[in-house]
């Protein structure tokens, strides 16, 4: 009888191939690319400050491009060192931005020097704009933007105008790719923490 039960269980058990066919949504094991319309979104979803940009296999992003005021290149470059020091002094100083990576680039394609602030992060750009602005004010990142044309003169007292600057200068991407799509920085850190915890456990068992 026990043999019969075992056979019935085997019959009803899912076959391995079936499990593989049913990929989970946002499956991190399958690299994904996403082409994005010119507007930066697929369907218009209103956010508090404008259209919401979609989450992509490369999470959320922020690519602000602005023209540098004449003679301000050194001031911007020097500020890279300030951010390096600030993070060294307090590694959590940029934590509210939920960043994976941050890249600052200066380039000139013939129409003058431009600055690009590119961030890859895990939170909806629209949802945490005020928190981002607060971090920018706290760390002095806003000081960098004061070297760009179009930066609002009343930025210290007019947060909505700062937010508007970022929205106006945001260049949405039209292709994003994730080798391990939709994985958040916290998930990466948790996975690594588990890996090291297992390593420690194995060491303790020697």
Binding site for other proteins (CB under 8 A): 45-49, 95-96, 124, 127-128, 130-131, 134-135, 137, 154, 156-160, 184, 186-187
Residue 158 token pair? 């007019």
On whether the CB atoms of residues 100 and 121 are closer than 8 A, the answer is yes
Separate counts of helices (H) and strands (E) for the chain:
7, 5
Q: For residues 28 and 49, which CB has a smaller minimum distance to other proteins in the complex?
A: 49
Radius of gyration (Cα) for the chain, nearest Å? 23
* Minimum gap (Å) between residue 136 Cβ and other proteins: 12
Q: For residues 73 and 130, which CB has a smaller minimum distance to other proteins in the complex?
A: 130
* Minimum gap (Å) between residue 46 Cβ and other proteins: 5
Q: For residues 26 and 112, which CB has a smaller minimum distance to other proteins in the complex?
A: 26
Q: For residues 80 and 140, which CB has a smaller minimum distance to other proteins in the complex?
A: 140
84 to each of 76, 78, 80, 134, 153, how far by Cα in Å?
Answer: 13, 10, 6, 18, 27
Beta strands in 68-172 (DSSP E): 99-108, 113-121
* Minimum gap (Å) between residue 159 Cβ and other proteins: 7
* Minimum gap (Å) between residue 50 Cβ and other proteins: 10
CA–CA separation, 195 vs 188, rounded Å? Answer: 11
* Minimum gap (Å) between residue 170 Cβ and other proteins: 18
Q: For residues 42 and 174, which CB has a smaller minimum distance to other proteins in the complex?
A: 42
Torsion of CA 58, 163, 154, 146, to 10 degrees: 10
Q: What is the DSSP letter of 51?
A: B
């Amino acid at each position: 009888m026990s043999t019969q039960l075992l056979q019935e269980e085997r019959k009803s058990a899912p076959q391995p191939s079936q499990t593989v066919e049913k990929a989970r949504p946002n499956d991190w094991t399958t690299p994904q690319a996403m082409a994005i319309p010119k507007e930066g979104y697929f369907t218009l979803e209103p956010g508090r400050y404008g259209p919401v940009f979609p989450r992509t296999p490369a999470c959320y992003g922020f690519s602000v491009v602005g023209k540098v005021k004449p003679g301000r290149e050194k001031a911007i470059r020097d500020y890279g060192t300030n951010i390096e020091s600030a993070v060294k002094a307090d590694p959590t100083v940029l934590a509210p931005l939920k960043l994976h990576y941050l890249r600052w680039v200066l380039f000139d394609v013939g129409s003058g020097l431009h600055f690009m602030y590119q961030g890859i992060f895990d939170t909806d750009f629209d949802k945490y704009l005020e928190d981002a602005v607060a971090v920018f004010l706290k760390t002095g990142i806003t000081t960098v933007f004061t070297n760009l044309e179009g930066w609002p003169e009343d930025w210290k007292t007019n947060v909505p105008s700062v937010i508007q600057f970022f929205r106006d200068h945001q260049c949405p991407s039209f292709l994003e790719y994730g080798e391990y799509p939709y994985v958040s920085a916290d998930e990466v850190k948790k996975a690594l923490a588990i890996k090291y915890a297992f390593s420690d456990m194995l060491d303790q068992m020697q």
